[in-house]
Structure 1
Amino acid sequence: MNDFYDRLLNKKVSLKDNTIWYTAGCLCSSASSFLLLLLVTRTLGAFEGGVFAIGWTICQLLLTVGRFGTRNYQVSDIKKEFSFSDYFSSKVLYIVFMLIGCAIYAYLLRLNAYKTQIAFLLTFFVIPEVLADAFAGNFQFHNKLHISGKSTVVRTSVSDLLFLGLLLVGGKLNISILAATVYGLLWLYFFDYKLTIRSGEKIWRFDIKKIMRLTYVCFPICASAFFTNLIISIPKNAIELVLNEEIQAIYGVIFMPSSVINMLGMFVFLPLYGRIALFWNEHNLHQFKRIVFQNITYIIFLTVIVMAGGYLLGIEVLSFIYNIDLTNYKLSLMILLLAGGMNCFVVLVNYLITVMRKQKFMLFIYIFVSIVMQLLAVPVTKQFNVEGAATLYLVSISFIAFLLLLVFIGSYKKER
């Protein structure tokens, strides 16, 4: 077995190989969101689909707490300010925060016992993603991103197949989630963990001062990611409070395609993060500006293509796949697709601001927008239903994009 680990660690790969494998991993991970909601809705019906949708919303918001934005800092940590053990051991602390957050979230949304149980199980379900984030950051830092991609492909694919099999056989949502979670943790131990140990990295070394320092410097990144997901979640929370499970399932279905743009954007962004950080730290502003404009052009092109496909075929395809009548929700779908493009742009600018080490400005922007959105969400959703929730999300994410762009331009001009 050690020979297998050594071959994988010592294999020479190109940027193309890293990109292909990491893209495959991102595809599997992102497609999992579509697939799980699809499986639950078609197998157990729209009511259970709505229960799963709100539970998934909670766990995805808490996933930002577990990741805590350390990945962005880790791959751009050229000066090795923190060791791998600092990045990994901090995840244990963040997982505790996730579980506490789940209890608070369930209370605020007034979830019943069954919905609370599903929310907690789904929060446990994403714990392997939290731990894998530290391993992936380390592999990427050492130009071995293909290892992370291969791990994600196998872990996610088998986990989803196990989930599907148990759902079809037993029809129990809670048992299916629990089994998939156990498998995810086992795979992570025997693959990512063992490979990292074999590479010589120290894992279980707790330096509380370093962890606190890392938490401090990454808090603005975490907060921006948290509030980004909170802004995504607020319309779903409002639906949970004033509408019903079936509408929750419908919104979840038409919202899913908007994440396609962000998913496809990550295929290009993440493999280039190291180069972007290097250009900035070397003050190579010409190459830095060139790669930024390339990515922005790619986002615009991608958004136009996805929106065109959504307009022509989106509602018909989604209605067929999920077995739900979505005829009246075409405008809402288009609004959400445009919002998906804006969110992809926000993710890119977030990273650029992090590289510039100006992430403290992000916190104020996200807090302000999320407070305003929280005040408007329930009355707007109650009056305008799904279309109102979708429009509120688009306006909010567009305003964030505008403010972040101002920070980026100001920081770039100052450096120049």
Structure 2
Amino acid sequence: MLNSFQLVIILLVISRIDNIKDAGNFVIAYAIANLLIMIGRYGVRQYQVSDINEQFIFREYLSSRIFTTILMMTVAIIYVGIHYYNGSYDSEKSIVILLVCGLKAVDAFEDVFHGLLQQHDHLEIAGKILTIRLFTYIIECMLIYYFIHDLIITIVICLLTTIALSIILNGSVIRTVSYKKGHFNFTHFKNLTVDCFPIFISTFLQIYMANAPKYSIDIVLTSKEQAEFNYIFMPVFVISLLSTFIYQPLVHKLAIIWNQKDLKKFWLLILRQTVIIAILTLLCMIMGYLLGIPVLSLLYSVDLSAYKSELVILLLGGGLMAAVNFFTMVITVTRYQKNLVWGYLLISLLFLLGGKKAAISYGIMGISSFYTLASACLTFVVIIYICIIVKLSKIKSS
């Protein structure tokens, strides 16, 4: 909950003090950082948790995470450097983006320790660590910005605190976990990198899709429109993040069921989670239609009454994207992830080519409708792929 709502809560303070520049910079920084964190995580968490036979030892997972986290920050520096050189970003916006990417790099690196805990049935310890660290960060960020009104100094202090807490909290528990040890094997490291590459590309494009409207608006519309869009997009973003915490505890259980070849139980678990996501999406759309705009306008001190239809359309798209998140996890468990990337590439290319045009031609309504349409197409592609996987599994087992 804290992870999902951190941006919402922090923006409550920022939007009241500087609801155009700082709010716009902070939101786009989070959008970019949430995309680049996929490089840091590299899709390894679900693979690690479902590695019930410990094909790879923790030292190899850790080495992989060190490499991908460094790669994440390198890409962030190159990305910001290009935009700064082209004049798209000023120095303040560039620094904010790099600092928020630093915060997410801590999340990415810490995730490998939490994967180890979950792999050995101690997910609750990871939850406690995240709760303490995120609660501290959110409160600290709001208080510092409220008193000094300087976004850069605020994030620098929060980053230092986050790093310190992550080291202390994770370091204190990892030593107590009993796991398979051994010497680092470069061949295993290479195999892990190759195996997880399709998952990385899929999750990267998935997050790109989830944030693509923000990137299109950042290019063609104003900072004011960027801020307003992100206020109505906030519930969608929250749905997407919350969905990961709904199904994350199921990864280990699904892996065991799949390895036992209990396809009936496997399908029932998938169906149950799909129904839960569908019900939550419908409830969110109803609440969004009835109360969404008045509540968001009150929270952010901005008149958003013109965006009621856009909010409902975006909430539908958010629910579809939450389903895609879940189905991607299912495919990872089956180890058939290699061909998944083509569906993501196709839909992402569609958004890359049409998203900017939709924003230019029809503004926020255009980009909202285009986002939901693309999410629906991606959901259809992933469901078809799961059906093919299960069919192939039946043929092989017979």
TM-score under structure 1 normalisation?
0.90
Residue aligned with 2:70, SS: helix
The 2-side partners of 1:340 and 1:163 are apart by: 27
Amino acid in the other structure paired with 2:115: G
Match of 2:202 among 224, 229, 233: 224
Change (3 A) 1:232 1:263: closer
Match of 1:84 among 37, 58, 83: 58
Change (3 A) 1:143 1:406: same
Counterpart check, 1:270 vs 2:244: no
Counterpart check, 1:328 vs 2:306: yes
Give the CA deviation at 1:225: 0.9
Match of 1:346 in 2: 324
Give the CA deviation at 1:202: 8.4
Match of 1:211 in 2: 189
How many percent identity over aligned positions?
Answer: 29
Please list, as runs of the form range in 1=range in 2, the aligned pairs for 1:7-406 lying within 5 A after superposition.
27-106=1-80, 107-108=82-83, 110-200=88-178, 207-406=185-384
Aligned CA-pair RMSD? 1.8
The 2-side partners of 1:53 and 1:296 are apart by: 30
Match of 1:11 in 2: none
The 1-side partners of 2:270 and 2:19 are apart by: 44
Give the CA deviation at 1:205: 7.0
Runs of 4+ in 1 over 4 A off after TM superposition: 200-207
Check the 8 A contact 2:324/2:379 in 1, yes or no. yes
Give the CA deviation at 1:178: 1.3
Give the CA deviation at 1:204: 11
Residue aligned with 1:256, SS: helix
Moved more, 380-389 or 256-265: 256-265
Change (3 A) 1:204 1:239: farther
Give the CA deviation at 1:262: 2.9
Give the CA deviation at 1:46: 2.1
Structure 1 residue ranges without an equivalent (≥5): 1-26
How many residues were matched structurally?
A: 390
Moved more, 98-107 or 340-349: 98-107
Change (3 A) 1:116 1:202: farther
The 1-side partners of 2:296 and 2:218 are apart by: 22
Give the CA deviation at 1:179: 1.1
Give the CA deviation at 1:261: 2.7
Structure 2 residue ranges without an equivalent (≥5): none
Give the CA deviation at 1:392: 1.4
Change (3 A) 1:49 1:32: same
The 2-side partners of 1:59 and 1:264 are apart by: 18
Change (3 A) 1:216 1:166: same
Give the CA deviation at 1:76: 0.4
CA deviation profile, 1:311-351 (whole Å, cap 9, x unmatched): 10000000000111101111111111001110111011101
Check the 8 A contact 1:85/1:202 in 2, yes or no. no
Change (3 A) 1:319 1:65: same
The 2-side partners of 1:299 and 1:187 are apart by: 33
CA deviation profile, 1:83-140 (whole Å, cap 9, x unmatched): 1121122121112221222234332583222211111011001122112211111111
The 2-side partners of 1:197 and 1:174 are apart by: 35
TM-score under structure 2 normalisation?
0.94
Check the 8 A contact 1:88/1:203 in 2, yes or no. no
